[in-house]
């Protein structure tokens, strides 16, 4: 336990290399304080590790915010499929309209697009 505490203190940036520190740690790790040290060893992290963990949590939260801000991928796929279906229906209707024109072309008197495709003199 004492060796673990000394390693932990070094990780936190303390100079725990001298024998006086090791003896004082050994004395502090006895009795009821042993549970306190076990708690600290399992939960307290060095500053660099804490900052790394904090950064990872912030990045994860930001990604969750981005993901929840817009529609889900499944919803986007559903919406695009509906849009495609509508476009296919419109294309089919236009094909039926074009097929209904006489064989001579669109310059017939029935052409309702005369302002676009036919000359005004027709």
**Cα–Cα dist 14/8, whole Å:** 9
Asked if 24 and 57 count as a contact pair (C-beta separation under 8 A), the reply is: no
Average pLDDT (64-91) is 84
Q: Which residue has the tokens 């495609």?
A: 84
Rounded to 5 degrees, what angle do the CA atoms 23, 24, 29 make? 100
Structure tokens at 121: 């003199």
Average pLDDT (79-101) is 90
Q: pLDDT tier at 69 (50, 70, 90 boundaries)?
A: low
Annotated domain spans of the chain: 2-69, 71-101
Decide which of 11 and 111 is more confident: 11
């Amino acid at each position: 336990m004492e060796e673990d505490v000394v390693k932990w203190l070094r990780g936190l940036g303390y100079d725990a290399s001298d024998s006086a520190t090791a003896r004082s740690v050994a004395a502090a790790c006895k009795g009821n304080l042993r549970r306190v040290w076990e708690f600290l060893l399992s939960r307290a992290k060095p500053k660099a590790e804490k900052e790394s963990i904090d950064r990872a949590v912030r990045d994860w939260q930001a990604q969750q915010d981005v993901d929840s801000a817009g529609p889900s991928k499944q919803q986007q796929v559903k919406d695009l499929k509906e849009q495609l279906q509508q476009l296919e229906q419109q294309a089919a209707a236009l094909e039926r309209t074009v097929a209904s024109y006489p064989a001579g072309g669109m310059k017939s008197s029935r052409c309702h697009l005369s302002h676009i495709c036919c000359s005004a003199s027709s």
